[in-house]
Amino acid sequence: MVEILQRTPCSATRISPTAGTTSRNCPLVRADAARQRLVTRRNDLDSVVNLSLTRRELLGASMPLLALIGGAAPVGLVAGTPPARAASGLVTPSSAAQAAMNKALSRAIPKAKTAVALRLVFHDAGTYSALLGDGGLNASIQYELDRPENFGLKRGWRLVEQVRSDLRGTAAEGLVTDADLVALAGAFAVRLCGGPDIPLRIGRPVATSPDPPGRMPGENFSAEQLKANFSEKGFSVQEMVALSGAHTLGSKGFGDPTRFDNEYYLALLRRPWNNPNDSMASMIGLRSDHVLPDDPECLPYIQRYAEDQNAFFADFSSAYIKMTTLGVPGWAA
């Protein structure tokens, strides 16, 4: 029988399966027991998600232990399942879990719902403030659906609820959080409509309250206002222009509403809203789209993506991955 000698301020206490109540009540002994449970939990998770933990991950994974011995988790967040963790590479679920997620996403998101699934991602992540370090993609959108800028997104959140329900009893149950499902639904929508296949990490924490209001870009923003807003989230002009290409999906008038391609940028260069002979042309896009080709910083990227769809796909994928890590502790964008 293995015995562990635990020296504590209470005394040098010998812990064994038959140890008495007094030794187990020592605070540091309780902490050690909690630490051992945490290690066991982390090892169990690593058998499902194959990755190595960094120092930052270990610090993040210690949150449950801090709570047990009197510490506190960040306000407004609860640890996801598994806890939010950084990784040097992409976190990949088991093949059985991945198959279950693909099946659930396929069932919940037909092509007709891809635009709202993709829009939900930006409206969840877009509350991020790089300066304050709060907000981001954390499923707080569920508490923000009555905000004017989120009109119509209740349909999007119902997709997340359906996928979550369909994952019960599968190998993916408990592996992905609601915040993960928001990100995964958007990536699935892009892929379903012919866009790039975007690999994503899993393990995002989930908010327990809404993120601060007033951080989303407005539909009537000027180019300067848009660039300032995206910069506050940590995005470059190039990343802003690449993410704007998501408007190719949906009813904004940029080609086939269920095809993810570079038609958005071709339309921006044509500027159809300036055609005085077409009364419907003004309905194509938003004012915040119309201002982009007239901005000297944005125009070169628009031209590049109009000429090279593969370049758009590559840059959109990178920007999307970054967007879906906003606000996730330890996940460097």
* Catalytic (active-site) positions: 123
Residue 57 CB partners (closer than 8 Å, separation 6+): 85, 86, 87, 330
Whether the CA torsion 140, 144, 145, 149 is positive or negative: it is: negative
Count of CB atoms within 10 A of residue 24's CB?
12
Q: Residue 226 and residue 289: Cα distance in Å, rounded?
A: 10
Q: Residue 10 and residue 245: Cα distance in Å, rounded?
A: 63
Task: Report the candidate in 233, 244, 243, 326 with the shortest Cα–Cα distance to residue 286.
Answer: 244
Q: Residue 236 and residue 227: Cα distance in Å, rounded?
A: 8
> Do 270 and 277 contact (CB within 8 A), yes or no?
no
Distances (CA, A) of 27 to 5, 22, 38, 67, 270: 15, 11, 16, 13, 70
Count of CB atoms within 10 A of residue 71's CB?
11
Distances (CA, A) of 249 to 189, 256, 284: 9, 7, 12
Cis bond before residue 9 (omega within 30° of 0): no
Burial of 76 (0-12, 13-18, 19+ CB in 10 A): middle
Distances (CA, A) of 281 to 220, 263, 299: 17, 15, 21
